Structure 1
Amino acid sequence: MNQTPPPAGWRPMRIEGLIGLIGPLLRPDPRPDPQAEPPRYALQTDARHANPLGLVHGGVLTALLDQALALIAWEAAERQPTVTVQMDTRFLGAARPGDLLIARPRIRQLTRSLIFLDGEITVADRPVADATAVMKIQRRKGTPG
């Protein structure tokens, strides 16, 4: 886990797994009203996130997009598990170690079993990557739907 203090206005989230290893994933602090402001997540990059060219690795960008999309899918599915069925990622620009990556996920459409999403990553309002994704809701036994 990154030991660097989070930037002002951001707070670490406690999420295990890959994002915990490359993160922590950050959320705005204080937490905004979801009705008033779309969700945002961030990742403070450092030398660990670089590829051999000295840029933030595409796998880091993809992992951040997948995690941000999964978080809003989980909320939309009433906290039922969701899994990524498909995610198409486009790399639009470069990020460098030290950049704060801001992920902005949004739901395009929600059905009983699938969630269609879009997401983008920016650095200082400059596009770095975007994605479209489909997530499947894995309803727990005994849960209607």
Structure 2
Amino acid sequence: MNESEPSGLQALRALIRGELPAPSIGQTMGLTAVEVEPGRITLEARPDSRHLNPAGAVHGGFAATCLDGAAALALFSTLEASTAHSTVDLNVKYVRPLSVGETYRVQGWVVERTKSLAICDAQVLDAAGKLYAKATTTFVIRG
């Protein structure tokens, strides 16, 4: 890593401390980074009325976006901040429906990483640790 270039881990720690503004997707999704270490991150997610499907339930895309985001940030914590990476595939398993107004813990971690590819896992848990959804994401790393 270039000593003059900030790392993804440094950027995420600054975000958690409130020194950097939250990304717009985090604002839209009600996602907040709360803990980070190299290769791992924990976010808090709180679905609201913006995240409902026509049937009045929290849309599955809410969980998928949270899972993909946590996986991506776990990877970002191992890269230079300017290193581009993007999702190649996202495999989500839904276990139970999310509820509006509940706060969930979204954890992401790096499973394996090469110079150009990474596999990351993520899960959505309630306050009691009950699993709501999980995912495996593959990322391409460019840089």
TM-score, normalised by the number of residues in structure 1 = 0.75
Are residues 1:129 and 2:133 paired?
yes
- Larger relative CO (CA 8 A, sep 6+): 1 or 2? 2
Aligned twin of 2:53: 51
Q: Is the 8 A contact 1:54 1:96 kept in 2?
A: no
Moved over 4 A (4+): 10-13
* Larger helix share, 1 or 2: 2
In 1, Cα distance between equivalents of 2:65 and 2:114: 24
Aligned residues: 124
Aligned twin of 1:15: 23
Are residues 1:138 and 2:104 paired?
no
Q: Is the 8 A contact 2:41 2:73 kept in 1?
A: no
SS at match of 1:40: strand
Aligned twin of 1:94: 97
Partner letter of residue 117 of structure 2?
L
Q: Are the structure 2 counterparts of residues 11 and 63 from structure 1 closer, same or farther at C-alpha, using a change threshold of 3 Å?
A: farther
Q: Deviations over 1:20-58 (max 9, x none)?
A: 3232x2122xx56x26xx420011222222223332210
- What is the RMSD of the two structures over their aligned residues, measured on CA atoms? 2.3
Query: Which consecutive residues of structure 2, in runs of 5 or more, have no partner in the other structure?
Result: 1-15
Partner letter of residue 27 of structure 1?
A
In 1, Cα distance between equivalents of 2:86 and 2:92: 17
